[in-house]
Amino acid sequence: MEHVKPIEWIYMNNGSNELRYALGEKGNRMVGCIGINPSTARPDDLDNTLGSVKRIAEFNGYDGWVMFNICPQRATDISEIDYEVNPHAIKENLSIVKRTLVEYNIGTVWLAFGNLIEYRPYLKMCFLEMFAALKGIDVNWKIIQEPTQKGHPRHPLYKPVKSTFVDFDIQRYVSEVLKG
């Protein structure tokens, strides 16, 4: 009988579970994924988006993954996130993202939020802060498929499992799409 290795989870949230900073599975070769905001997923109970993240990561040769978000506020619908940014939550989120990438030696980061980044005015600013915070880390930025018509990295939900990671020109994205 084949021995199945138990999943070692990465799970960071606040005490009330209203904010989730990171959720993933430890592995020898890990990819980071940045979405827009977390839903209800937790260890041993992935939602559809994280099921897609896991399958696409595995297809691309990663045995571990960790999901981060631009905004750590949990909401099952993007319209449920706050109208105003929570600076404390964003600061904590940035710290955890950077620390986790370093701690787990994650050099590949897959951007996966689609046009949802335009839903609240502060989301673009939060991503720019995250990008600035990660400048000191050697990161290979990836996306799946072509960017959306608005130029944003595609969201993984409903994308084929066999979606190959492609290099993403993050400098161009930041200067032309987010600041443009």
Instruction: Write out pLDDT tens, residues 81-94.
Output: 999 999 999 999 99
Of the chain, the percentage scoring pLDDT greater than 90 comes to 93
- Stretch 117-124: mean pLDDT, rounded? 96
Is residue 130 classed as helix, strand or coil in its secondary structure? Answer: helix
Residue 14: name the closest of 93, 132, 127 by CA: 93
Class of the 9-178 domain? Answer: alpha beta
- Stretch 149-166: mean pLDDT, rounded? 94
- Stretch 16-41: mean pLDDT, rounded? 96
Q: What is the DSSP letter of 117?
A: G
Q: What's residue 179's pLDDT? A: 82
Contact 23, 54 (CB under 8 A): no
The strand pairing partners of 33, in sequence order, are 67, 110
Report the chain's mean pLDDT, rounded to a whole number: 95
Phi/psi of residue 94, each to 5°? -60, -45
- pLDDT bin (cut points 50, 70, 90) of residue 158 is confident
Q: What's residue 177's pLDDT? A: 93
Domain ranges of the chain: 9-178
Q: What's residue 5's pLDDT? A: 76
Contact 148, 114 (CB under 8 A): yes
Q: Could you write out the DSSP letters of every residue in 132-162? A: HHTTTS--EEEEESSPPTTSPPPP-TT--TT
